Amino acid sequence: MKQEQSQDTICAIATAQGGAIGLIRVSGPEAIAITDRIFTPVGKAAKPLAMRSPYTLTFGHIKEDTKGDIIDEVLISLFRAPHSYTGEDSTEISCHGSPYILRRVIQLLINHGCRLARPGEYTQRAFLNGKMDLSQAEAVADLIASTSEAQHRLAMNQMRGAFSQKLSKLRDQLLHLTSLMELELDFSDHEELEFADRTELQTLASQIEALIAQLTDSFSTGNALKNGIPVAIVGETNAGKSTLLNALVGEERAIVSDIHGTTRDVIEDTIQLGGATFRFIDTAGIRQTTNTIESLGIKRSFQAIRKAEIVLWVIDQKEAEKQIATLSKQIIPLCNGKQLILVLNKSDIADTPISIANYQLPTENTISLSAKSRDGLDRLQNLLIKTACLPRLSSGDVIVTNARHYEALSHSLQTIRRVQQGLSTGISSDLIVQDLRECLFHLADIVGQVTTDDVLDSIFQHFCIGK
């Protein structure tokens, strides 16, 4: 269900404060007329915006209502419905970035009939006017928030419709399967008519299930790429965990001290490696302690391991035998299904290199370095990229990054598997059709074909004003 389109004309500042240029967006049925009321074109061929062609820039002045004093010299971009971002008549006022100028122009627009846009209202109007589906609209927010190459490419692919095209293909297959089943229901009194045998229907249902499962399974990768691949830095006190964090992020994020138990809580920071974001979590050193606060920090260390995709176990090479014997039974069981990297730290002061093979530990991801001198840091970064198994994203690749989409796909997967079970056990066709319709409903919810007003409000209220 879609909201009724508002007839209000809205305005908002679309650029961040502090820049040399400020952009104000105006959209709605009176956008051009209202902009004309506060704008005076300059030049030999000066004429009102209402008389100008779309996709043109017009130079002129924004003036005060009363005295006619010039507020700023501006450029006006003109767009006419339906060929604009929102699908409505729109103007964009490019002026100087002074907060005073921007505020005065907004006040003039409001005085002449505009209202301030709500967060995300421009993109919401674009969705309501059919300029994009809901999954594409959500990708706009992801594109704005992207901080890495991978995040940017994922959002761009989704905004350009790669995900929508995949869902459209699924929907067509589901509709074909549903139509065959409903034909059986319509002609159930004519047993001699057969539109598709159960084997063919099962094959089609299996193909649909495989596509939905592929999208659903991609969420773990997509979520890591979108929010940063979580990497827990763990080990005993004074193994060099905080020094390693500081070396990786290139600044003093964590306190480094020879005193045991300095780190009492988790400290997080991110860096870009291989086009993706890695989110490092420095944790409290794991040891036996009677200090209540330190014990809470150690408890959070184990929680960080459980949530991480990659675990960096930092081991002081001078104390390797003791630290491995003490912590292996605590750390190794928590690393099932995760990537474990053994970081043999303090290579600059260790007497001789140690052999991990002697300690019955996984040896494929082991690196010796000095976090203090940063010797070997580049090799660790390369190992992190390799260990993360980042997909090579190209135009058109679809990886699910949105929790709402994942939830809908999970429900779709459950229903299509019930369809497969029903086809194999021979249950009534009307029950199978009901599951097929439910599967179609969940897929339609992703692109906004059946989305409620409450869901739309929840999605768009997290956008920035001006977008």
The one-digit pLDDT tens for each residue of the chain (467 residues) are 344 446 899 999 999 888 999 999 999 999 999 999 999 999 877 899 999 999 999 999 999 877 789 999 999 999 999 999 999 999 999 999 999 999 999 999 999 999 999 999 999 999 999 999 999 999 998 998 888 888 888 899 899 888 999 899 888 888 888 887 777 666 555 555 455 567 888 888 899 999 999 999 999 888 888 888 999 998 888 888 888 998 998 876 554 444 444 444 568 888 899 888 999 988 877 766 666 666 677 778 888 888 899 999 998 988 888 888 888 888 888 888 889 999 999 888 766 666 666 666 766 788 989 999 999 999 999 999 999 887 777 767 789 999 999 999 999 999 999 999 988 888 888 888 899 999 999 999 998 886 567 667 767 776 777 77
pLDDT value of residue 89: 97
pLDDT value of residue 220: 86
Pick the CATH number of 224-388 from 3.30.2320.50, 3.20.20.10, 3.40.50.300, 3.50.50.60: 3.40.50.300
Pairing of strands 39-41, 267-273: unpaired
**DSSP string of 132-151, one letter each residue:** S-HHHHHHHHHHHH--SHHH
Topology (CATH) of 10-132? Gyrase A; domain 2 (3.30.1360)
pLDDT value of residue 49: 95
Pairing of strands 310-316, 339-345: parallel
**Residue spans per domain, the chain:** 10-132, 143-218+398-447, 224-388
Tokens of 244: 């390693």
Closest CA to 128 of 403, 457, 426: 457
Would you say 432 and 422 are in contact if contact means Cβ atoms under 8 Å apart?
yes
Topology (CATH) of 143-218+398-447? Four Helix Bundle (Hemerythrin (Met), subunit A) (1.20.120)
Closest CA to 156 of 97, 226, 95, 213: 226
Q: Within the chain, what is the greatest distance between any pair of CA atoms?
A: 87
Would you say 425 and 388 are in contact if contact means Cβ atoms under 8 Å apart?
no
Where are the extended beta strands (E) located within 97-247? 115-116, 229-235
* CA–CA gap between residue 189 and residue 330 (Å, rounded): 66
Instruction: Find the angle CA(255)-CA(295)-CA(236) to the nearest 5 degrees.
Output: 55
Whether the ω angle into residue 82 lies within 30 degrees of 0, i.e. cis, is yes
DSSP state of 66: S
* CA–CA gap between residue 460 and residue 223 (Å, rounded): 20
pLDDT value of residue 206: 92
Q: Which helix (H) or strand (E) holds 58?
A: strand 57-63
